[in-house]
Amino acid sequence: MSRTKINNNKGFTLIELLIVMSIIAILGSVGITSYIGSTLKAARTEAYTNLEALRMHEAQFFSENAVYTADIAGDFPSFQPGPSASFAYALTLNQSLTTPVPVPFAGGMAAQTPCFVATATGSAGTRVAGDVFAIDCDNNRNF
C-alpha cells in the first residue's frame, strides 16, 4: 500500500500577508500626507481669494465714499468668506504694509492715510493656525 501525500495548500503564507500589509501601509501614509497637503493648500487659497475680494470691496467703498471702512460685516454684506472657519479677517485703517513685505507676515506696517491693511489670521485648532496673510490698498501682499 502506498501512501500518497495530498497537497492541500489553500490560503496565504505569513510572508505574503506581511508583504501585502506593508504595501497597504506605505500607500496609506502617502495618501494621507497628500490629502493633508491638499487641504492646507485649499484653505490658504481660500484666504488669498477672500483677501483679494476684501481689497476690491474696500476700493469700491472708497470710490463711492472717499474714505475706507473697517466694518466688514456692516459695509460689505456681499463679502462671504465661506462656511470654513479657518481664517479670521480684519481691516486696519490708515496703515500700509512695509515693502518688501516680510514672509511670514509679522505685522510690519507703516502709517499712510488714506490706506488700509486687510489681514487673514489662521484660527487656532486648524491646520492653518499661525498663518497670517495681508494685503493693503496699494496691492502689496505677503502671499
pLDDT in tens, 121-141: 999 988 888 899 999 999 999
Cell (9 digits) for 57: 470691496
Per the DSSP assignment, residues forming a β-bridge with 137 are: none
pLDDT in tens, 2-56: 666 666 667 788 999 999 999 999 999 999 989 988 989 998 999 999 999 999 9
- Residue in the block written with cell 494621507: 32
pLDDT in tens, 60-114: 999 999 999 999 988 988 888 877 778 999 999 999 888 777 777 777 788 888 9
Q: How many CB atoms lie within 10 A of CB 3?
A: 4
**DSSP letter for each residue of 81-141:** --S--SEEEEEEEEEEE-SSPPSS----EEEEEEEEEEEEEEPTTSTTTT-EEEEETT--B
- By C-alpha distance, which of 128, 99, 113, 130 is closest to 39? 128
User: Given this model, what pLDDT does residue 91 score?
Assistant: 94
Q: How many CB atoms lie within 10 A of CB 139?
A: 10
What CA–CA distances, in Å, run from 76 to 53, 73, 134? 10, 6, 18
Q: Report the C-alpha gap between 104 and 102 in whole angstroms.
A: 6
What CA–CA distances, in Å, run from 63 to 52, 67, 87? 17, 8, 27
The structure's pTM equals: 0.76
